[in-house]
Chains A and B, each alone.
Chain A
């Protein structure tokens, strides 16, 4: 057990218009997750503290937040990785609704613009079975299938901070997942969206997204591949 202090950026529009900081002293095991600490604050000290969480092990993508200045999932960040003073803030560049909860509607709206669903006009095989795809074709887009839409990448992107109209890295990751799927026929439509003013060309390869991704997706590379497809007119 070690003593840690959580410093949490708070905001509640029903209480006061400005944000403030609350501080909480806790005894914590090194193996505890930051989410465990937030839960203990909520359950034992201050029930008004609000944050999203669900699965608690890095898959559902609910508890993305800024922990000591980096976008991370609270359930995938252990006390042992941090110092004795931990600072927690909501994601940057998104409207804060309460405490650590940000408005994700614009994020999901941007996601929907890239047509994040399978498009194929060819009917499935006449025997009703699966479309064929080789392991190599499947591997081509494997990395971007891992995205959990947590928004850690988009909320770490300087281009997104500069212009919230930018569709952001998460949307491009989703576009990539379909553009490079050998079964999909919607690459043209998606590349058109990706090539617009608020599309991939806003990316200046800061690599923040790749560093922030809790799923370890090589986001900058995926964006680069979409740019290349746009520049060359070829998906390969």
Chain B
């Protein structure tokens, strides 16, 4: 049986963007939040280092400097009108979080304390600036908790542990979503005036990733399957400091506090690449430089990793702490408690006495569902879908361009979650319910029933690990045409094998076998779009580095990619090719220049 619900606004996802949007929209209209997990499990909670805003609590800072850093960090593919909004509104967003009770770290004067972070500079690139507001190295945890607490305070309605199987968009109008209650396997049809997607990233398409198991992008794939475009999917950020082999993130805050990267010879190799910002250069560059060291035989013991060194004696020897001051082990333990514990637990390393093996880890999708500056989803370069919104990592505003700056994911989700939530609420006040098509849930129901009954010989786990391996090897930090073609044909072969899948669990209660199979279908589609988008962009920019096209090419490629499925609208994985269209980049204040640090 199908359960029917009607809410003016339905929000999919309960991380930072979804909860921020829910708080805004709930002031204006009635809202339901659907989340695959309990909201406090969302991946926003794992963000460590901080959230930027030019408050100027520590030293002089200006929104124009921050906007510049965001644009340059994104290798000029950032839409500058959006970056200006991000930089300006970050300030009031931070204060709003503080007023909601968020426990930021404090200065002696009682103000919000700030620290340095990668790519954030004073005076248009002259040197690092203290701009990142934080709660030790658990800033995301505090943001997630604070937003969820406020949702409880304001009686926001949650549907926890429901996954979305289909987003109902017909004739350019959003009408609701079809979701599965994981505890029972029963179908729920949500009829809404408007839907906001805030489902986060999909980094689980890569073998080494900082992303949670749950980050598989079903709502993003659902829109693509329904014929809507995805923007700039070729730009996937690899964070330079993941724990070796495991991919668990060690925040840039470690380097903000003075930590340095060392190659196998114990050299501070970034002196040769980015002499001004060194360890605080943007992530795309550092990930490349690490692999260049490895390729030159200067990894540790000739292997594919280097060291992150946060020993006080190392930091003091290089004078790499903020202002060149001397640091002690006790201070580092206080500022970086969680990541130091992770180094101890997962690596068995004592970071106050030895350096920590690290390698780049797949971290963040710059691309995703194209939106305007109020979260309205675009159906093409110039027109929007009525009643459909997106915010946070699943969206592409684009405020991150070709490479996101550290802290800007959190800024994005509070600033654009807030704007999207307001726009959603206002839309619901003036709009009526568009009718649901007859048997709106039938297609999703059929696809899920088929999957649940499947008895083929292919296993979800096998297909997923083959996908993750080929994406890591061929569509990772370094890319070239032949490898990406190979990846694309592998992904398409995996999609074919996916039709021969077999499940063990045929039940209704917490059928996580079914859920993982459904998630794999989404990952396959999104990986295909990622690889195809990367292949068609014949240049290197930000997180996309191509050995066969090593230069940025503003003449031909200063534009966004929109990727569409060439045929059919379905709830199932796509079968058509990927078709492309271009969307112009908005340039207002900063003309593209070579990117040096």
Contacts and interface: CB of A to CB of B under 8 A. Distances in A.
Interface of A: 12-15, 31, 39, 42-44, 46-48, 50-62, 76, 78, 80, 97-99, 101, 104, 108, 112, 115-118, 120, 124, 128-135, 137-138, 141-142, 145-146, 148-149, 178, 181, 183-184
Given A47-B505, A112-B152, A130-B112, A55 B45 contact: yes
A97 B510 contact: yes
Interface in B172-214: 183, 212-214
A138 B459 contact: no
A132 B110 contact: yes
A60 B45 contact: yes
Given A118-B153, A128-B95, 9 more contacts: A52-B37, A57-B46, A62-B38, A112-B152, A117-B101, A118-B100, A130-B99, A130-B104, A130-B111
B109 interface: yes
A59 B210 CA distance: 12
15 contacts: A12-B507, A14-B507, A43-B459, A43-B462, A47-B459, A47-B505, A54-B43, A54-B213, A57-B46, A58-B345, A60-B43, A117-B150, A129-B111, A130-B94, A135-B107
Interface stretch (B118-126, B134-142, B312-320): B134-142
A52 to B, nearest CB: 8
B129 interface: no
Given A48-B505, A54-B43, A57-B346, A145 B103 contact: yes
Interface string B42-71: 110110000000010000000000000000
A24 B178 CA distance: 37
Given A31-B346, A117-B150, A129-B95, A98 B509 contact: yes
B507 A60 contact: no
Contact of B45 (A59, A120, A137): A59
B46 A15 contact: no
A55 B513 contact: no
Interface string B82-101: 00000000001011001111
Contacts of A51: 512
A133 B111 CA distance: 7
A55 B212 contact: yes
Nearest to B151: A117
Interface string B445-483: 000000000000001111010000000000000000000
A55 B46 contact: yes
Interface of B: 37-38, 40-43, 45-46, 55, 92, 94-95, 98-101, 103-112, 135, 138, 141-142, 145-146, 149-150, 152-153, 183, 212-214, 246, 248, 338, 342, 345-346, 348, 459-462, 464, 503-505, 507-513
Nearest to B342: A57
Contacts of B505: 47-48, 50
B510 A101 contact: yes
Nearest to A124: B99
Contacts, number: 159
A60 B101 contact: no
Nearest to B138: A146
Nearest to B183: A97
A236 to B, nearest CB: 18
B513 A48 contact: yes
B150 A130 contact: no
A138 B45 contact: no
Given A53-B213, A55-B212, A76-B345, A134 B37 contact: no
A117 B45 contact: no
Contacts of B105: 135, 138
A235 B14 CA distance: 33
B37 A62 contact: yes
Contacts of A178: 101
Given A117-B150, A133-B106, A59 B46 contact: yes
Contacts of A55: 41, 43, 45-46, 212-213
B91 to A, nearest CB: 9
A54 B41 contact: yes
Contact of A31 (B110, B342, B348): B348
B99 A131 contact: yes
Given A47-B460, A117-B101, A133-B110, A145 B135 contact: yes
A39 B464 CA distance: 13
Given A133-B106, A145-B103, A56 B37 contact: no
A129 B93 CA distance: 10
Contact of A50 (B101, B109, B348, B512): B512
A193 B411 CA distance: 36
B156 to A, nearest CB: 11
B43 A44 contact: no
Nearest to A177: B103
B509 A12 contact: yes
Contact of B212 (A56, A97, A137): A56
Nearest to B133: A130
B579 to A, nearest CB: 34
Nearest to A131: B98
A50 B505 CA distance: 10
B150 to A, nearest CB: 6
Contact of B103 (A50, A61, A141, A149): A141
A75 to B, nearest CB: 9
A62 to B, nearest CB: 5
A226 B112 CA distance: 27
B345 A14 contact: no
B502 to A, nearest CB: 9
Contacts of A101: 510
Nearest to A80: B348
B38 A104 contact: yes
Contacts of B462: 43
Contacts of B107: 135
B43 to A, nearest CB: 7
Contacts of B38: 62, 104, 108, 149
Nearest to B112: A130
Contacts of B213: 53-56
A54 B138 contact: no
A67 B319 CA distance: 45
A15 B511 CA distance: 13
B106 A138 contact: yes
A134 B38 CA distance: 33
Contacts of B110: 132-134
The 6 closest A-B pairs by CB, nearest first: A118-B101, A43-B461, A47-B504, A132-B110, A117-B149, A47-B513
Most chain A Cβ neighbours within 10 Å, of B106, B107, B109:
B106
Contacts of A52: 37, 41
A181 to B, nearest CB: 7
A63 B382 CA distance: 44
Nearest to A101: B510
Contacts of A12: 507, 509
A56 B107 CA distance: 33
A66 to B, nearest CB: 18
Contacts of A46: 504
